[in-house]
A and B are shown apart, each in its own frame.
Chain A
């Protein structure tokens, strides 16, 4: 499956780019990620626990960065093996562009699954992959911008801002 989307992050382009190369940031952003190590140069090792439809598995995998054109674009590609659950692999082409509000992040994601994941989950895999990508970039936005009231999206801001004030 393939999908693409974009979001605007309120931070300078070089800050956003640096965040993409930071394993600590990535660990916070990959949904279900329990471990992340390595470096942008060597590649990252990751452990991700996820449930896709009826299949729950621990995926161990590697993420590689390529076509690094700082601070404009980078390609992330990775493959996770889930043992009896099968495998998932995919890639994202990420482009950054300075805009008035900060940085426009545009991504194109391609994902593939195999083994039991494909056999049992093919009908839900597109929705699942979209959810994963959305969550990743939402987490990324939050991680880069920091958890501030101003950082919330426009339509949710008043409500959540109020909620945050109450809960401190």
Chain B
């Protein structure tokens, strides 16, 4: 019988009670007495020299409090990048200045030029129209490869060129070249990982509030990691010490990575509220979100696989151009390198793997982590390549994968990481059953009789989650530790508040985390609540991204709960007049082993806070413990995905018939929530493969900045998913044995879709090697015309 409490149970999400009844408290719901509103005047050219910004007339407009420009931020810090990548010659990456408001030049459509603070939003917008701008438009660097040519327009004049870094990682060139020279077969593929806009349901919002009396600033913001924002903004941008700066990220309506980063608008409202001694509020419009939220992906890659005469993979080499956009967003530099290159071995025991990445500045919106962050790009290139190799060799694509799977663990890849556990054949076995792969050729024939081209695409994936061991990432250039923290506060009557560094913005932490604590203590999970999102309440944790919350913050919570249990046992031993070593905790009762003497959880907690009969000479009163947890390794969720679909040869239109995901997430705390996470990831992966594309024209104009032009997946675009997570190889190094499930769906699904379309076309006699995403009917039809 399924459990109804604790680990393994699927209670409904308790946060949904407020979300579904309109009782959520999002940042835009926060209004501070006396607040002003800011509207940002943004560049509508991609690149230009600012000759003059005349705000005189605009400043006289009704309701205007003050207009700020880049000049007001001279001497104020710029937005920092959180990760320094070192190039292949040992030089640090180029880090251009990233002012809060543009200084001297505008560098992308959407770059903020002026900030108009007014009594109302309408007045701020009206005044923006009265600002006289004199900007000389310059030629824009848009295409990455063209941007690296001599004579290309320079995004940052002082850098000399548009190359942020040229990074190389993995096996040495001589070894890789030798393997390719000796290969029986080499498969080469050029592909593009399309640029995406994250589009969380809730656009970004920031409210800055300053209390002059005690010199304290509060920033309410749509963030996945309030402590990271406090650290970056306080220490690097505005110079406010932590104890005078509080960052609150209340209910947040989706992040997908794009709310990790520290943005100019957050720094602006905090800065301006201090200048004006009045609260300042900014709410992004959807149009602004398209041109100011960090974009995702945008890689152009050439990838090559060398195979021996027996079809064993002998070497892999990649050459990627990764778009940084106009400035370095907070984690832009590490996404195409350490979050991408380290996963390039995939599920395969390829002995030589070399990754080359050129990061390029262009006159486009900054690009940074988006659900999966580097790992989808790695999975897509590799799994498309393996499929192409199978087709070229005339072998079964699943058999080719199985032949090259890593089967011995732990396994140290040629790209630095060590996979602790996994069973890739097991998830592939499950997948083949889920989609009835054996019966596919019959279904293909049946579809052909109806004039449809049916295809089945399969791929596997591996990701590195539970980010990350601090000492390792420190060596790799991270400018922060990546531990997390939890404080378990047991109240006098036994109820518990757990203050966590992780932030829930759709993941369901408020439901899942209590399940773990309840399981450990043997109490009902309704006695446990989670507190998150407010730096004045929670310990210094690093937030939620990289499928890390349960693996890292959850582990901290387990450690803190263990400390609680240890102390509670001491108290129980005192109350029961027994030896501490004989105390057992089960079902919320402390008992003396081998006797019927016991004391309830609530009696122990009450004794801790009303210590009348208490071993005060040995232990302190109270029952509250904090733990910080720094993981020993990444976690490595893995799995196999399949998509079956039909292509209409007349139109190129694709209809997805079935989509199956067989994942190994390690141990699962709440299966329902895990399935929900996979569903969401799959929808985003299907969106990327079929619909979504962020397009710029050659002048750097953003062409897809509304839902008329940027196609988000809708319910009718996605099938009913088949999801399985029954194959469990628990993580070996965290106390819960969990690996993380937040990004898998988005990482694993795009190659399955493209592989399926190519299987359909090639199975129908069309010789098509590759189609770039999104696979619109027009692109599919064009490919079929040869």
Pairs of residues from A and B, 5 with the lowest C-beta to C-beta distance, nearest first: A115-B44, A119-B705, A118-B701, A122-B703, A83-B129
Taking a contact as CB atoms under 8 Å apart, the answer to whether A114 and B701 are in contact is: yes
Taking a contact as CB atoms under 8 Å apart, the answer to whether B706 and A120 are in contact is: yes
How far, in angstroms, from A90 to B701 measured CA to CA in the complex?
15
Taking a contact as CB atoms under 8 Å apart, the answer to whether A114 and B706 are in contact is: no
Flag whether A86 is at the interface (Cβ < 8 A). yes
B: contact size bracket: 20 to 34
Given contacts A113-B701, A114-B44, A114-B699, contact A119 B706 (CB under 8 A): yes
How far, in angstroms, from A162 to B16 measured CA to CA in the complex?
70
* Residues of chain A with a CB closer than 8 A to B703's CB: 118-119, 122
21 A-B pairs with CB atoms under 8 Å apart are A53-B708, A83-B129, A84-B125, A84-B128, A113-B701, A114-B45, A114-B699, A115-B44, A115-B45, A115-B109, A115-B701, A116-B705, A118-B109, A118-B697, A119-B109, A119-B701, A119-B703, A120-B708, A122-B695, A123-B708, A123-B709
Taking a contact as CB atoms under 8 Å apart, the answer to whether A84 and B129 are in contact is: yes
How far, in angstroms, from A160 to B706 measured CA to CA in the complex?
42
How far, in angstroms, from A70 to B703 measured CA to CA in the complex?
39
Flag whether A130 is at the interface (Cβ < 8 A). no
Q: Mask for A109-140, Cβ within 8 A of B = 1, else 0?
A: 00011111011101100000000000000000
Q: What is the distance, in angstroms, from A45's C-beta to the closest C-beta of chain B?
A: 16
How far, in angstroms, from A73 to B709 measured CA to CA in the complex?
39
* Number of A-B residue pairs with CB-CB distance less than 8 Å in the complex they form: 54
* Residues of chain B with a CB closer than 8 A to A17's CB: none
Q: What is the distance, in angstroms, from B295's C-beta to the closest C-beta of chain A?
A: 14
Which residues on A are within 8 Å of B, measured CB to CB?
Answer: 53-54, 83-84, 86-87, 112-116, 118-120, 122-123
- Besides the contacts A113-B701, A120-B287, what 16 more A-B pairs have beta carbons closer than 8 Å? A54-B708, A83-B129, A84-B125, A84-B129, A112-B701, A118-B705, A119-B287, A119-B291, A119-B701, A119-B702, A119-B705, A119-B709, A120-B705, A120-B709, A122-B703, A122-B704
* Residues of chain A with a CB closer than 8 A to B287's CB: 116, 119-120
**CB nearest to B703 among chain A residues:** A122
Which residues on B are within 8 Å of A, measured CB to CB?
Answer: 44-45, 109, 125, 128-129, 287, 290-291, 695, 697, 699, 701-706, 708-709
How far, in angstroms, from A21 to B109 measured CA to CA in the complex?
35
How far, in angstroms, from A123 to B707 measured CA to CA in the complex?
12
Taking a contact as CB atoms under 8 Å apart, the answer to whether B290 and A119 are in contact is: yes
Taking a contact as CB atoms under 8 Å apart, the answer to whether A118 and B702 are in contact is: yes
* Residues of chain B with a CB closer than 8 A to A83's CB: 129
How far, in angstroms, from A113 to B701 measured CA to CA in the complex?
8
Taking a contact as CB atoms under 8 Å apart, the answer to whether B109 and A114 are in contact is: yes
* Residues of chain A with a CB closer than 8 A to B695's CB: 122
Given contacts A113-B701, A118-B701, A119-B702, contact A87 B709 (CB under 8 A): no
How far, in angstroms, from A116 to B703 measured CA to CA in the complex?
9
Q: What is the distance, in angstroms, from A87's C-beta to the closest C-beta of chain B?
A: 6
The one of A54, A84, A87, A122 in contact with B697, judged by C-beta atoms closer than 8 angstroms, is A122
How far, in angstroms, from A83 to B125 measured CA to CA in the complex?
11
* Residues of chain A with a CB closer than 8 A to B45's CB: 87, 114-115
How far, in angstroms, from A54 to B707 measured CA to CA in the complex?
12
* Residues of chain B with a CB closer than 8 A to A53's CB: 708
Q: What is the distance, in angstroms, from B108's C-beta to the closest C-beta of chain A?
A: 12
How far, in angstroms, from A122 to B697 measured CA to CA in the complex?
9
How far, in angstroms, from A62 to B701 measured CA to CA in the complex?
22
* Residues of chain A with a CB closer than 8 A to B129's CB: 83-84
Taking a contact as CB atoms under 8 Å apart, the answer to whether B44 and A87 are in contact is: yes
Q: What is the distance, in angstroms, from A32's C-beta to the closest C-beta of chain B?
A: 19
Q: What is the distance, in angstroms, from A90's C-beta to the closest C-beta of chain B?
A: 13
Q: What is the distance, in angstroms, from B389's C-beta to the closest C-beta of chain A?
A: 38
How far, in angstroms, from A86 to B133 measured CA to CA in the complex?
13
Taking a contact as CB atoms under 8 Å apart, the answer to whether B44 and A86 are in contact is: yes
**CB nearest to B702 among chain A residues:** A119
How far, in angstroms, from A83 to B45 measured CA to CA in the complex?
12
How far, in angstroms, from A119 to B129 measured CA to CA in the complex?
19
The one of A54, A112, A116, A119 in contact with B699, judged by C-beta atoms closer than 8 angstroms, is A112
**CB nearest to B131 among chain A residues:** A83
Most buried by A among B44, B706, B709: B44
